[in-house]
Amino acid sequence: MGSSLHLTRRLTRRFFAVAAILALSVAGSTQQPQQAAPAAPAMAAPQSGYTFASPQTLTFTVDWRVFTAGQAVFRLENVNGQMKVTATADTLGAVNMLYPVSDKYQSSFDARTGCSTSFSKQIQEGRRKVNTDLTFNYAAGKQMLSERNLIKGNTKQQEAAIPACVTDSLSAIFYAASQPIAVGQNITLLLADSMRVVPVTMKAEAKEEIKTPAGTFQTIRVQPTADAGIVKNRGNIWIWYTDDARHLPVQIRAHLPLVFGTITFHLQSVESK
């Protein structure tokens, strides 16, 4: 029972991070806070004619092995040219009884450039409660972190260098959707990761038909990879985007050796209101 509970806790601490390219803990690390931003290709602006759906709410069921472990909800809204993304993650059923998780993430990015302007998270996992805010000041070339542990009462502040445009680990899912997606082609993004900036390659691997509770979709499977940072060596993750102008993310799957299994996000519903 003890080992099972430990595994469940590890799973629930990570299950929503899977949806955000294994990196939603972006602002929680103290690794190399003053490291200069590396040289990397600039991020491309959203392709001409692409429109971010707004308002839009995407609801996913989260399955671990044969169990339904939780639910994740993403909401996009355009507020004066800034895309506001809100995501919540909650455990369900037996997993919730063993180790409840109720997390909330928020980010914003410029709809014209795709550059992130802020990222925040409110983590409530068991007895752990931590609020984190990350802002991007491109004029100063800095990202700034503010974090507060609500249980222990301690705080921390950090700064690190950034290039002219970065994305955060929540906005990245939707930034990638704004780019041309074709089998055999790659999308490059610069991910703000653990107070560093890590180049991430989104590889469009193959076309697949995917069945979800929301319907059957013709999709292109995309795999994010990186040579450094949180994305590296944490397992494999894939995102299935619809093979149409919307590039709607309808399924996310990760194989995580650290939790001995596969986690899959299935699109349950899409609402435009």
Which residues is 151 bridged to in the sheet?
none
- Residue 96 DSSP SS3: helix
pLDDT per residue of the chain (273 residues) written in tens, 0 to 9: 444 444 444 444 444 444 333 333 322 333 333 344 444 568 999 999 999 999 999 999 988 776 777 888 999 999 998 999 999 877 655 444 444 556 789 999 999 999 999 999 887 766 778 899 999 999 999 999 999 988 888 999 999 999 999 999 899 999 999 999 999 999 999 998 778 898 989 999 999 999 999 999 999 999 988 875 544 555 688 999 999 999 999 999 887 665 557 788 999 999 998
Query: Is 71 exposed, middle or buried, given 0-12, 13-18 or 19+ CB atoms closer than 10 A?
Result: middle
Q: Is omega for the bond preceding 55 within 30 degrees of 0, making it cis?
A: yes
Question: pTM for the whole thing?
Answer: 0.82
Task: Determine how many CB atoms are found less than 10 A away from the CB of residue 99.
Answer: 18
Question: Distance of alpha carbon 126 from its chain centroid, rounded?
Answer: 21
Task: Domain of residue 157: give its range.
Answer: 2-271
Alpha helices for the chain (secondary structure H): 2-19, 93-98, 171-177
Count of domains in the chain? 1
